[in-house]
Amino acid sequence: MRIDNLQYANWSEKIFRQLREGGVDAIHVTIAYHENFRETVLNFEQWNRWFEQYPDLIMKGQWASDVDRAIETGRTAVFFGFQNPSPIEDDIGLVEIVHTLGARFMQLSYNNQSLLATGCYEAEDTGITRMGKQVIKEMNRVGLVVDMSHSADRSTIEAAEMSERPIAITHANPYDWSPALRNKKDDVIRAVTENGGMMGFSIYPHHLQNKSDCTLESFCEMIARTVDKFGAEHFGIGTDLCQDQPDSVVEWMRVGRWSKEIDYGEGSAAAPGFPPMPAWFNDNRDFGKLENGLRAVGFEGADLAGIMGRNWHNFYETNFCAAGETAQHE
């Protein structure tokens, strides 16, 4: 079983076929960065068209059982998430609506302060806001997973501690391996994992040691050290693959509509676009290389299967349904 718990590609038949070639059974895809509710609905509509056009390659994912069905039918299950709470605007009632539409992960912030939490680029982290506390309760109730990938440290720790259900960091790496603002310090990872949460290791170059020049060996050794420290059952893959996206998209991701000035985020004026991926991971067909890299540093059996997808499957099974409901949906 192979699950990638974060991608934001420029979707096409080519990529859907590469998912199948790479044996990727499920993906979590971003369908909102700064979009409001109505704009996000248009993105759901677009995915409905793709499900209609390519029924032999992809299917909508809502429950863990959909991953199993995708495996049985030779397809990739596609789960939806938001990298910002903008789709719920300032209306807590939209939490249940977006879950009904198919959203399964929602970040409480992107890089900036939101109505719910503080982003990792803010100078001051004031933690979870009054609205944030109420939204976490509602997300827990309906089965919309709290994602803190882009949030600041205090906000993330508070979310992990106040959420009644496990939370996720869908795509990041340890800060002590690569000190990017987006990567996570040990106390943050500990708060998430000790409360039953999950973290997905990212292959986005700005999150890697030596960026695009990061070696497969270095990446896999980092994974080995991290799971030794915090427990293998809490980790999986969240590549943050942005395949075939034009550079205008990274500008939208960083700037949205909140600034008239260009914010380069983890890039720079000299290199404002998407960085090149490391040589060992260009697209979904390279998941076999990643699995072999993990084997080379000692992973095998249940730990290897867990990192490659089983841990995310287990997380889906208990966290996508409403509070108090059974895990399985048919």
**pTM listed for this prediction:** 0.94
- Mean pLDDT for each 10-residue chunk of the chain (330 residues)? 96 98 98 95 98 98 98 98 97 98 97 94 96 98 98 98 98 97 97 98 96 98 98 98 82 75 73 85 98 98 98 98 74
* Domain assignment present for 327: no
Task: Retrieve residue 276's tokens.
Answer: 């090149």
* Domain assignment present for 17: yes
Please state the φ and ψ torsions of residue 193, each to the nearest 5 degrees. Answer: -75, -35
Q: Give the CA distances from residue 317 to residues 63, 68, 325, 326, in Å, rounded to whole numbers and listed in that order.
A: 7, 11, 11, 9
At residue 122, the 3 state secondary structure works out as coil
* Domain assignment present for 44: yes
CA–CA dist 185, 176 (Å, integer): 7
* Domain assignment present for 54: yes
* Domain assignment present for 329: no
* Domain assignment present for 328: no
H or E element that contains 228: helix 216-230
State the pLDDT at residue 329: 61
State the pLDDT at residue 275: 84
Q: Based on the structure, what is the number of domains in the chain?
A: 1
* Domain assignment present for 297: yes
Domain range spanning residue 26?
3-319
State the pLDDT at residue 330: 54
CA–CA dist 78, 16 (Å, integer): 10
* Domain assignment present for 102: yes
What CATH number should be reported for the domain holding residue 67? Answer: 3.20.20.140
CA–CA dist 236, 234 (Å, integer): 7
In sequence order, which residues have a C-beta less than 8 Å from that of residue 55 and are 6 or more positions away? 75
State the pLDDT at residue 264: 66
State the pLDDT at residue 327: 59
